[in-house]
Chain A
Amino acid sequence: MDFQDILLQQIINGLSLGAMYSLLALGFTMVYGIIELINFAHFNVFMVGSFFGLWVLEATGLIGQRSTLEGLPLIGVLLLAFVCTMLLSGLLGIVIERAALRSVRQLRGTAPMILTIGISYILYNVILLTVGADTHNFANPIPVVKWQIGGAVLQLREVLLWSVSLVLMAGLHFFVRHTRIGKAMQATAQDQEAARMMGVEVDRVVILAFFIGSALAGAAGLIFGLYYNFTSYVIGYSAGLRAFTAAVLGGIGNIAGAMIGGLIIGLIESLGGQFIAVRWTDVIIFSILILVLVLRPTGLMGLSVPQKS
C-alpha cells in the first residue's frame, strides 16, 4: 500500500465511524435543542438498540455470520430490522421521557441531567444482568462484497452504512424543515412559551424529539452490529462519548452541526490513529474539541443556541 492508498483506506474507515457518530449525535442535539437537556441515557439507548436489532435479526432466523442473503430478501430483512429496531428504541425513548424526565423538566440546574445518567446506568445493568457480559456475535445477512480502489478496499456494508445514514439524516432534515410538526419543533426550540401560546402542544413535541432521537440511536445501534458483527453491554460508553463530543463540536442544538461533527470525529479518529498512534486517539479528539470550543464557543456551525428566557 502506498501513501494514497493508506490515506484513502483510512478515510473510508473514518467516514464509516463518522456516519455512526453522526446518527448518535443527532439524538443528543435534538433533545438539547428543544429542552436544553444533555441526555446521557442516549449512550445506552444506542446499546439497547443494538440488542433490539440482534433479536429482530435472530427472530428472522439469521444467526452468526454464516447465513447471508441477497437481492430482495436482503432488502426485506434489513428494512424489517431497521423499522422494528427504530420503533422499539423510539418507544424506549418515550418511556424514559414519560416515566422519569417529564416530572423534572421544569427543574433548573443539573438535576435532570443527573437523572439521565442514572437511567443510563439502569439500562446498562439491566442488559448486563439479563443477557450477560460476553460479547455477542451479531447476525450479518449482508454478503461480503469488496471493491478494490487502488490499494484500498471498499466493502458493500460500508456503502450500505453510508446510504442508510444519509437517508435517515435527509429524512430528518426534511421532516424538521417541511412538515407542520417539524416546524412546531423548531418553534418550540426557539421559544417554548411563545410556541405554547401559538397553540403548539409542547409535551407532544418533546415526546416526539425523544422518539426520533432514540429511534436514530437504535438505527445507529443496528448499524454498529451489522458493521462490527458484535455487540455487548459496554459499547455505549465509548461511542456515546464520541458522539456527544461530535454534537458539541458541531454546535449542540444544531442538526447539520451534529452530522458534520460526527464525520469530523470519525476522520480524526482514523487519520490520527494512522499518523500518530491509536493509543493517543482520545487525547487527539478531545484536544481538538477544546481547541474548537476555545476559539468558537458555540461550536463549528456556530449559530447561537436558543436560550430559555
Chain B
Amino acid sequence: MLDDYLRANLASWDEAVGVHLDSQMYDVAGFKAGKTSLHHIEIDELGPLVGEGTTLLHLQCHFGLDTLSWARRGAVVTGIDFSGAGIATARALAEELGLSQRASFVHSDVHHLPEVLGGRFDVVFTSWGVLLWLGDLERWAEVVAHFLKPGGVFYIAEFHPYALLLADDSTPDSLRIGYPYFMYGEPQRFDEPGDYADPEAEVQNTVTFEWVHGFAEIIDPLLRAGLRLDFLHELPYTPEGLPFAFLEVCEDGLQRVKGHHHDFPLSFTLKMTKAG
C-alpha cells in the first residue's frame, strides 16, 4: 500500500515541477534575477545561523529555489527530493546561476537518504508543505538527527496543524472541523483538480495521499532522536499556499484569517539543536 501512496504522490510532484516553473507563486524569473525565494520568517529565525561556508541540508527541496537561496547567502547546500524532475530542474538552475560549486542535489526520499548520502551538516532545513507527505515521522526524525553534526541545528517552517484541520467550506464566523488533528496510520486520499500554485493548471495526476501530524507527533520523535527543543513558535499568518476562502492576503503578502488577523495560528516554526 505504501508504494501505491508513494507512486501517486510522486506522479503528482513530478508533474507539478513543470506547472510551478511557470507559476506566479514560484516566480522563477524573479529568482533568476536575484530575488530570494525565502520568506522573512525563515530569514529572521534561521538566517543568523547561516553564514559563509555553513553546510546546509534541505529535505524535500522540490526544485531547489530555497536551497539555492541559502547558497546565495553563503551556505554550502545539499538539496534532496523524491522527484527526479524536481532534482533535474534544481541542478539546471544551479548551473545557470553559477551556484553549482556550492549546491548539490540528490534524488532520494527522506527515509532512504542515509543509504545514498554521506556527511554531516551544520543545519538541516525543511519548509512549507512537507510533513503531510510523510507517514512515518519516527524515521524522518532519525534521518534529521543522523545528518546533523553535534551542536547542529534543525529548523522547520510549516503550516499549523489547526489550519490543516478546518473544513474547506469554513467561514471566519464558523470554523468547522473537516480533517483530523492527528491520525496514526492510513493517509487521507485527495482527488482535486488544479495545483496549489496555479489553480487553473491542467493537471493529470490529481490523486494524492496525505497525512496529518499533531505537535506531539512532530516534536516527540525529534526529542527521542537526541535533539533539544530551542523554540516552537505559532504564528497567526502564513506566507502562501493555503487555498481556503476564509483567508485573505494582507498588504505584507501574508495570509491571515479574514477579520481575525491575530487570533488564529496558520503556521509554526520549530528550532532544535543536536546535543553535543
Asked if A and B bind, the verdict is no
B interface residues, Cβ below 8 angstroms from A: none
A interface residues, Cβ below 8 angstroms from B: none
